[in-house]
Every structure is written in C-alpha cells, then in structure tokens.
C-alpha cells in the first residue's frame, strides 16, 4: 500500500458517512478551538501585565513609610521616611536614581477651568525612576528643588482637561492659591499598573511640603522610589537598604520595620506565576473538551469497525494483513483529528484575534503555541483514539466477518 492508497482509502471511508464524520470532526474542532482561545486569553493577560510593568521598569523599588499591615493594625500614619533617607540611599553603588515622593490631591485652576488631579512632590530623578519622557519644555532641576520653586510639570491629560494649548509651557496654574509656572508637559503613555501616568501634576517635593501643605515636618515623605542599575541584584540591594533604614530609624533587633520595600521585579514575578497558573487552569478546562472530542473519535471508530466487519472480512480474505487493517483504521482516525485540529486552529486563532484585537482592542499576541498544539493533538488524539478500534478490526476473524450481516 502506498501513502496515496492509505490516504484515498481513509478519505473514501470518512466521506462515506458524511454526517457522522462531520459531527466527530466537530468535537475536535471545538476542543482545539477552545484550547487555542484559552491560550490566547492567557497570553494576552500575561502580556498586558508584563507590558504595564515594563513601562515602569522591573528594576524599580518603592519604599513606603509605615510598617506592613499586620493583624489589621497599620501603624503607617506616622511618616517615618525622610528626604535624608532618600539622599543616603542615593549613595548606594547599585542605585541609579532616587526620588522621595509626597502625594497630595490637588484642585488645579487654570483661567476659569479647574481640574482635580493628583499632585506629586518629587526630585528631578523621578523621570528616570518612572521612565517619564517630556514632550514640551523640560523637567525642573535640582536648583528648583533646593529653592522650593513653583515650577510644575503636568501630564498631557491634565493639560487637555484644563483646556490648555498644545504647548502650555510658560502658562500659570494655581493650586491652593499657589501659582505654578508650567515648565514641561510629559509625553502620553497610557494607563499602567500604577494608575494613569498622564493625569498628574509634578512639582518639587520641597515646594509641596513647604508651600502647598505647609507641613510641620517638611522633611518627612510618604514614599521613596528608586531605580537600580540593570545588572544590580535586587534582593541584595533591598537587604542593604533595609539594614540602612533600620539603623537610621534606630530600630532594635526584634522591632518591626517602620517601612515597606516593594520590589517591582518580585511583584512582577509573582504576577507572572499567578497568570501562569491562570493560563494552565484555562487550558486544563479547555483540554477537557478536547478529551471529549477524542472519546468521540474513538466511539465513532468502534462503531465503524462493527459496521464494517464484513468489509474487513473481505479485505482480509483477499490478502490484507493485520498491519494493513491497522494502518487503514489508524489513518482514518488521524485524518479526522487532523482535519478537526486544523479547522479548530484556524477558527481559534481567527476568533481570538478577531474578537480580542478588533472588538475588545487587546493586543493579542501571535504565537507558535497553537500550531504546535494542534499538530500534536492531530497526531496524539488520532493515534490514541484509533489504536484500540484498529487493533480490534485487525484481529477480526475473516470467516466470521465474512458471514457477518
């Protein structure tokens, strides 16, 4: 028997019972399609999360004032971090940029418009830490921080909401009656894991503490954000910072930290693990329908063997060996699962790309995964569901089979 013979025999047999073959193929189509779509969903979620974190930079570390929440009691009202802490951290060799951060809600007034947004007091290095790019003008410098100047950099969305020109550098806005000169506008970059980066007003931290808040503790800050050099070992640096801060805050051994260190890399790794499990779960659920499809093929092949007992008898009588019969039935089941897998692949990719990309607007990644998957399914499911019926067919006794009605 040539390959061509095998192919032709299988095709004629499958075509001989179109409705049944179609329904069996449908089982595989649905199974493969479900798996392909679930893989796409998992990968999209994973990619969205990775994208958001990478816009932030995975070598970012954020230190928050106050102890980690334990037993429902949070002792974080006290502002334990100071600008001096930030200055000391900046001296560590692995730290590329540091910025203390103080946030505050702000009602920004421009002409007759006003807009509520979040105001952040930062250092110029904040641009490096958060990957902020400037579209118009420039960011304020360290002199502005030292002098507590009333300069501000605003997000593009804030500018739009306030009805400003395309380039509002030089315009004056008021926050709690303090006039600020706009020196720069940040480049738009969409939402990220840390909330919108496009709607904000950034001012020197000293200005925020002294002029806007009039704080009694001008040195205290709620957060310190820092960026490490690419080759730094996050956990080593975090240990160093932790030890240093404990020392500076005069904590004794056994005392809880009065700050929390969040490592973005670690958070992202945790998120990736979680989405990995999510993906596995989705695939596992979809795989059940694939399993049902495979059982469908096996069922159909068993019925087919019973129905074609006489045909098998004829073939054996005129010289078909056991392997000929096995190959014939196996190739039928493989052909069915192959057709199903290919249609399922095309439909799965089409649906996930069509719905995900064009209707929901997600950037659904293309990957080789579904192709590898459907080809393996075609072979494995075809073989697994065909072996038992094929052997059953091959072992039929030609005499009894010929007499079978």
Partner 1 sequence: MKKNETIISMNKICKSFPLEIGGVQQVLFDITFNIQAGEFVAIMGPSGSGKSTCMNIVGALDTPTSGTYELYGQNISNMTSDDLARARNEHIGFVFQNFNLLPKRNVLDNVMLPLMYRGMSPEERIRRSREMLHRVGLENFETYLPTQLSGGMKQRVAIARALAGEPKLILADEPTGALDSKMGNEILKFFKELNKDLGITIVMITHEFDIARYANRLIHIYDGRINYDGPIPASEAVLVKKTNKGQK
**Options 242, 324, 353, 367; binder of partner 1; rule CB under 8 A:** 324
With respect to partner 1, which residue has the nearer C-beta, 189 or 310? 310
CA distances from 369 to 23, 34, 81, 274, 290 (A): 26, 14, 48, 20, 16
Q: Which stretch binds partner 1 (CB under 8 A): 152-160, 214-222, 318-326, 333-341?
A: 318-326
Distance (Å, rounded) from C-alpha 44 to C-alpha 50? 10
* CA dihedral (165, 169, 171, 175) positive or negative: positive
Kindly tell me which of 314 and 347 has the beta carbon lying closer to partner 1. Answer: 314
- Kindly tell me which residue out of 127, 206, 315, 373 binds partner 1, with binding defined by CB under 8 A: 315
Residues belonging to the chain: 405
Specify the stretch interacting with partner 1 by CB under 8 A; choose among 187-195, 288-296, 335-343, 396-404. Answer: 396-404
- Going from the C-alpha of 277 to that of each of 119, 134, 281, 291, the distances in angstroms are 38, 38, 6, 20
Straight-line distance from the first to the last Cα atom of the chain, in angstroms, rounded to the nearest whole number = 28
Selected from 78, 146, 166, 321, the binder of partner 1 by CB under 8 A is: 321
The contact mask relative to partner 1 for 70-109 (x = CB under 8 A, - = no) is: ----------------------------------------
- 3-class state of residue 223 by DSSP: strand
Smallest distance, Å, CB 304 to partner 1?
A: 12
Minimum Å gap between C-beta 8 and partner 1 is 9
Q: Which of 192, 51, 217, 205 is nearest to 122 (CA)?
A: 205
**Binding to partner 1 by residue 292, rule CB under 8 A?**
no
Rounded CA separation 394/390 (Å)? 6
CB of 360 to partner 1, least distance (A): 47
| Closest approach of partner 1 to the CB of residue 339, in Å | 19
- The tokens for 291 are 């399993």
Residue from the set 1, 68, 169, 172 that interacts with partner 1 by CB under 8 A: 1
Backbone φ and ψ for 80, nearest 5 degrees, come out as: -90, -20
Range in contact with partner 1 (rule: CB under 8 A) among 9-17, 43-51, 266-274, 279-287: 9-17
Site for partner 1 in 16-35 (CB under 8 A): 16
Rounded CA-CA distance 153/138 in Å is 8
- 6 phi and psi angles, rounded to 5 deg: -60, -45
Number of residues that bind partner 1 (CB under 8 A): 24
Query: Binding pattern to partner 1, positions 293-312, x when CB under 8 A?
Result: -----------------xx-
**Residue closer to partner 1 (CB basis): 12 or 285:** 12
Strand 200-204 and strand 113-122: the pairing is: parallel
Interacting residues toward partner 1 by CB under 8 A: 1-2, 4-5, 12-13, 16, 310-311, 313-324, 398-399, 402
């Amino acid at each position: 028997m040539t390959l061509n013979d095998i192919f032709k025999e299988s095709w004629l047999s499958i075509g001989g019972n179109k409705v049944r073959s179609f329904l069996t193929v449908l089982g595989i189509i649905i199974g493969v399609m479900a798996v392909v779509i679930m893989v796409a969903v998992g990968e999209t979620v994973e990619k969205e999360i990775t994208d958001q974190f990478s816009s932030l930079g995975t070598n970012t570390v954020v230190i928050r004032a106050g102890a980690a929440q334990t037993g429902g009691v949070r002792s974080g009202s006290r502002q334990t971090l100071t600008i001096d802490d930030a200055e000391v951290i900046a001296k560590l060799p692995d730290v590329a940029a540091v910025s203390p951060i103080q946030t505050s809600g702000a009602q920004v007034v421009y002409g007759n418009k006003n807009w509520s947004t979040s105001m952040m007091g930062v250092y110029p290095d904040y641009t490096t830490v958060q990957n902020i790019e400037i579209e118009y003008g420039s960011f304020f410098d360290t002199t502005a921080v030292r002098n507590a100047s009333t300069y501000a950099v605003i997000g593009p969305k804030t500018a739009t909401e306030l009805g400003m020109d395309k380039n509002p550098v030089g315009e004056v806005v008021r926050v709690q009656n303090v006039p600020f000169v706009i020196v720069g506008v940040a480049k738009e970059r969409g939402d990220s894991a840390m909330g919108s980066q496009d709607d904000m007003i950034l001012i020197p931290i000293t200005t925020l503490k002294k002029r806007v808040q009039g704080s009694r503790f001008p040195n205290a800050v709620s957060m310190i954000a820092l960026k490490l050099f690419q080759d730094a070992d996050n956990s080593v640096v975090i240990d160093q910072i932790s030890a240093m801060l404990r020392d500076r805050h005069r904590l004794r051994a056994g005392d809880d930290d009065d700050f929390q260190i969040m490592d973005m890399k670690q958070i992202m790794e945790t998120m990736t693990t979680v989405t990995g499990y999510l993906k596995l779960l989705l695939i596992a659920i979809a795989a059940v329908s694939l399993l049902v499809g495979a059982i469908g093929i096996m069922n159909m092949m068993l019925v087919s063997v019973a129905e074609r007992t006489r045909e098998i008898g004829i073939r054996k009588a005129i010289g078909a060996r056991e392997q000929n019969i096995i190959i014939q039935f196996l190739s039928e089941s493989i052909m069915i699962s192959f057709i199903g897998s290919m249609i399922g692949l095309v439909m799965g990719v089409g649906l996930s790309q069509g719905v995900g990309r064009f209707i929901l607007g997600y950037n659904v990644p293309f990957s080789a995964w579904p192709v590898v998957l459907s080809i393996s399914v075609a072979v494995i499911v075809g073989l697994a569901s065909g072996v038992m019926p094929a052997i059953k067919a091959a072992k039929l006794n030609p005499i009894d089979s010929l007499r079978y009605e």
